[in-house]
Each structure stands twice: as C-alpha cells, then as structure tokens.
Amino acid sequence: MSGVQKLTVGADEADQRLDRWFRRRFPQVGQGRIEKLCRKGEIRVDGGRVKASSRVTPGQVIRVPPLPDSPAPAPLSGPKISDSDAEMIRAAVLYRDDALIVLNKPAGLPSQGGTGQIRHVDGLAEALRFGLDEKPRLVHRLDKDTSGILLLARSARMASVLTTAFRARETRKIYWAAVAGVPQPAMGTIRFALLKAPGHGPHGAGEKMRCIHPARVNDTPGAKRATTDYAVLA
C-alpha cells in the first residue's frame, strides 16, 4: 500500500486495543512492526502519539503509514476440536441471536486457557461460529469448578457493550450454592476477602480461592475484598 491513510474508527470497533484494530485491518503487519511504528510516531490517533496497547473509540482518526502489500501470514493452527467436544459445547448453548450467545458452562471446564489448560471455553468457541467469520468473544469469566451462565459476544461492538456493562456493575450476578448446614440468619451479607492460593498439582493445577480476614487485605498482595448478599432458598 502506497501513501498515508487516515481511517476513522467505526462504531463496531469500539473499546479495543490499537494493535488489535490494526491487525484486523492490516493482517499482513505483525505485532512487532506495529509496536515499532507506534514508537516512531508513524501511527497516530487524532494526531497524537500512541502506544500499541492504547484503546480506540468510535470517531477517532488513525493515521496509517505506507504499508507493504504482502499477503497476510497463514494463521497458526490451534488444537483441533474433537467432534465430541464440538457437540458438547454446542449442546451447552441456551440462547443465541445475531449479537450474543448464552452458554451453560459445565463445572470442570475453564473459561480460558492457562498453565496446563488446553481445553477451555475460549478455545471451544471455535465451534460456536454458527456461520460467522469469527468465533464469539468471552466478556466475563466463571471459575473452572463453577457451573453457570456465560455470555459470549458475536461481534466487537457487542463485546464492547457487554464488557462496559460488567465493568460498570450494571449487571446483576446471582449464584446458587449447596452448603453444609443452614446459614443463620436466613438472609444477610458476608463481607470478607479472597486470595488465590497456588495449586499443588503439575503446572499449578488445583488453584483455589481462600478466605482471609478483611483486616489483612492491605498487607496481603493479591487479596481482594468480597461482598456477598445471600438468602437461604430451602
């Protein structure tokens, strides 16, 4: 491509990193090249210098320098999804339309990959394209051992809308749990803190969340305050 282009970020491209926006528009340009162009000031947003990790918003104008016309590199082939896994993840779909997919995540299946995790919802989402060019995107997570509802966005625009809603706490999450004994009182609020304990198995398998006293949060790296409103159903 010869010459400088100035492209406007569309409404369906909101709230994503600049490097991701760039790779979607110009797949022939690698991550290293994008970062170098940003450092040299050849890629600019609304006339200002930016980092590859900067987030773009609709209406911003991105300066694109002359780029090579070489074809996009062949995509890396990930692990093949077995027919049984594809059937399993499709059977877990509770609802879908053009914007999103509602998935009933089974217990024991991680939301995303990690150390020693090669089978997870994010990877299996390749089987949930249902005719679209791209796989649906995770917009929130559930712990590996937790079963429940996961929302997946089928477009960049819907991913931005849902991510913003979760970040602004405009969503309401309800969990049902079986417990030993009956909490007293039957309705109340638990204010405590959580800390991820390292796993004991190979590659860190067996990670668990453990409770710590709220008074220790400020002195405990990685600890987060947690507030739970509960009600006994039966």
Active-site residues: which are they? 143
* CA quadruple 230, 148, 110, 20: dihedral sign: negative
**DSSP letter string, the chain:** --S-EEEEPPGGG-SEEHHHHHHHH-TTS-HHHHHHHHHTT-SEETTEE--TT-EE-TT-EEEE-----PPPPPPPP-PPPPHHHHHHHHHTEEEE-SSEEEEEEPTT--SS-BTTB---HHHHGGGG-TT-SS--EE-S---TT--EEEEEESSHHHHHHHHHHHHTT-S--------SS--SSSEEEEEEEEEEEPP-SGGGTT-EEEEE-GGGGGGSTT-EEEEEEEE---
